[in-house]
Chains A and B, each alone.
Chain A
């Protein structure tokens, strides 16, 4: 297995490893806010608890906390969807001849790009994944390789688009009551499942109740925790969902659940459904061999009309360099999983492909156990930040294909990102004087110590992680330069070791807020969080995180999460390094792709694609 692929594969929770997390780490807010503003304008600005309409595009509330009605999906995209967060990405896209549209024309994304010509029916698009498509059930759509199929077979009431905008899909509109505890969805009429049965509110109710039932131990169960059952279905096209308490993440995490048909799923069960799914999506399963491929064919009665393509197929090609060759030879049209870094650069520079570069919101970081004696002193952690040249890591180790982190949230999360936090310039001299001042003096062996505690620890790197290992090694040198002794060991599962408090430090990527535009980081930064890898205990942080979840006004939330980022930068619970870029290439024969998408969500728009073999 190739280098990049191997490390991506092995990191259990890497940036774009899975769809479910992708949703979480994707950034609705950045582009959604302008979109929400547009929608509100279209609806006559009928919000009364939302933003300051005087600055509507910047401050209108996100959809999930706003009372609003969304008339059609065609208003998606937003007028002001912005370019990719990373300067490298923007530059790279500017090089691409297809990417001539200015950022402000992103609204045109729902229309075919003018240069693409008229859509034609027919043809096949072949995608490549890197491991088996073990299941086609919505509950198993975590791995990207699964999701690209699942999302074309199923639909949710709402779905995130490639501009971080939640689009109504199986619903026509939704409303929220004033305190954010009741959501009413008006469903689209005339939607059919692949077997010809009609989609109704009962299917939504069934899906939510099935996956939300703890007895079924579904993977998505936690998304349904806040629901107060039963779900009401006053008629076939209305679904009323009550929440136990306001939950800002409800629309993004829960309402986007793919709907399964009650009549079929209840008959075959979840296990049977995994290989035999029936959805409302634009494509239905034609042929499926989990170890080799999954082939979907057009569903003639799809509610948005028959898709342009006849066949959408995913082949399993484990080796990254072979995927690159298959792209070059035209054997396949796109790879849903990453290629090698050098191949990314080569294909991007070749100009032969439609190239998409989007930014991750999972931070590449060194979590460190704050309960260890050597990491308890905040000054030590701050000095370590000063000792690391993050620009050099980005520019040299990552060849510019990343963006430097300033705290836990990615700059891609435009609305909530707070640049004005404590900064740590590379300054080893300053780092050393900070340590001297705090009483950490160099011992006889050259390692700093204080009161019998030596600044000496072990950092775990994922076994075979050839991409990040050099990063750990260079940091090791920088630590040595200021008198800190960092050893490196390899381990197959670093996050679990950190979770259980078995390791001093590790190196991997994780989302600390930012998923689906949700800045909440309760799962990682709260004192009692399962994934508080750094065992960081801060009453102030707990208070802020709780306040952020209870708050419904976006501007007030923005202020809370600005405080969160400032506190992270001040306390340095972990060493935050950078956010990675994600590359996707398409053969230019594939038309109908979005222009300047900001995430890889566009696979759920395969119904718009068509092929032009003259291209």
Chain B
């Protein structure tokens, strides 16, 4: 087990390294000029020498390989450098201060979607073709189909614009979490409910369920101890896998709901050519996804005794 964990961590490290290299070079090759963005229209009044001095000050006139090694060198010491567009703010600080909002939003969304979707999918499978099953599945299809930016704006129009119940701007009280968490959870709920129903149905047809029933176990025990436990396996894999999607969902949701999180920081950094921050966030996201996947695999081992034996 320990060897397995170490191997997975090493693999994860390799992935993060490759992503860091690829990110750096894609960004270097890409168009756009951070100085232009930093100056705003100020560049109009500038001379060539002014621009050169500013590029020099921010290390942008160094050859690409020097920039890369200096970046990697700093990275090895845990320093992601500074943002040029944001006139010298350390990228570490920006990511550290943005991460909690994103993590909280996503955890709440995960919690909400799982607690609703898993039982809903389970009951839908148990009451297959019932009204309950059909309505859950119709709602789930809708949940998958609705784009989250649209759902977000509609919620704001309704709950802020029309009813005036919830604030649409700012992010400093529990009220600010309701709408973004709901929207983030909608798609996840839909995906998880459909999946849970599908795997439950599959599991319920297995021989060991028939065996359990024929042993005379109470249906409740059959369902909870034998069926659900096995049906949860793919769900956990998918939750781990989907966490990457949740993060990408944060890009849209955080922008719409003015949440000062990683998603918004990422989006604004791309549109403003803030390469240092883009690199930093890609790395941070990669790290998060890699870690989530490792944790998922370990959880798998905990839940499924067969995997543990291997």
**Chain A contact residues, CB within 8 Å of chain B:** 1, 6, 9-10, 12-14, 17-22, 24-25, 128, 131-132, 134-135, 137, 140, 142-143, 214, 217, 219-223, 225, 253, 271, 274, 289-293, 315-319, 321-323, 325-326, 328-329, 331-332, 491-493, 495-497, 510-511, 515, 523-524, 530-531
Contacts and interface: CB of A to CB of B under 8 A. Distances in A.
Contact of A217 (B42, B57, B272): B57
B67 interface: no
B94 to A, nearest CB: 7
Which of A17, A217, A271, A510 has the largest number of chain B CB atoms within 10 A? A217
A506 to B, nearest CB: 13
Interface in B56-99: 56-57, 83, 85-89, 94, 97-98
A12 to B, nearest CB: 5
Given A9-B271, A219-B42, 13 more contacts: A18-B40, A24-B41, A137-B87, A217-B54, A219-B39, A321-B153, A328-B161, A329-B164, A331-B167, A332-B169, A491-B31, A493-B273, A531-B43
A222 B161 contact: no
Majority DSSP secondary structure for residues of A touching B: mixed
Nearest to B254: A318
Contact of B260 (A289, A332, A497): A289
Contacts of B39: 18, 20, 142, 219
Interface stretch (B44-52, B229-237, B281-289): B44-52
Nearest to A249: B45
A486 to B, nearest CB: 21
Contact of A292 (B86, B156, B170): B170
Range class of the B interface residue count: 35 or more
Contact of B88 (A20, A24, A131, A271): A271
B42 A329 contact: no
A214 B47 CA distance: 12
B244 interface: no
Interface stretch (B114-122, B130-138, B194-202, B261-269): B261-269
A510 B89 contact: no
Given A20-B41, A222-B50, A317-B169, A1 B160 contact: no
Contact of B53 (A128, A131, A134, A221): A221
Contacts of A142: 38-42
B299 interface: no
Given A17-B40, A220-B42, A493-B33, A131 B169 contact: no
B160 A18 contact: no
B292 interface: no
A441 to B, nearest CB: 37
B88 A531 contact: no
Contact of A325 (B89, B94, B157, B273): B157
7 contacts: A142-B40, A289-B260, A317-B258, A318-B267, A319-B255, A322-B169, A515-B44
Given A291-B265, A325-B157, A493 B45 contact: no
Contacts of A135: 86-87
B126 to A, nearest CB: 42
B37 interface: yes
A318 B268 contact: yes
B166 to A, nearest CB: 10
A274 B48 CA distance: 25
A16 to B, nearest CB: 9
Contact of B97 (A6, A131, A291): A291
B86 A18 contact: no
A18 B42 contact: yes
Contacts of B85: 134
Contacts of B25: none
Contacts of A291: 94, 97-98, 260, 264-265
A516 B88 CA distance: 29
B160 A331 contact: yes
B14 interface: no
A134 B271 CA distance: 15
A17 B161 contact: no
A282 B168 CA distance: 29
Contacts of B41: 12-14, 17-18, 20-22, 24-25, 142, 511
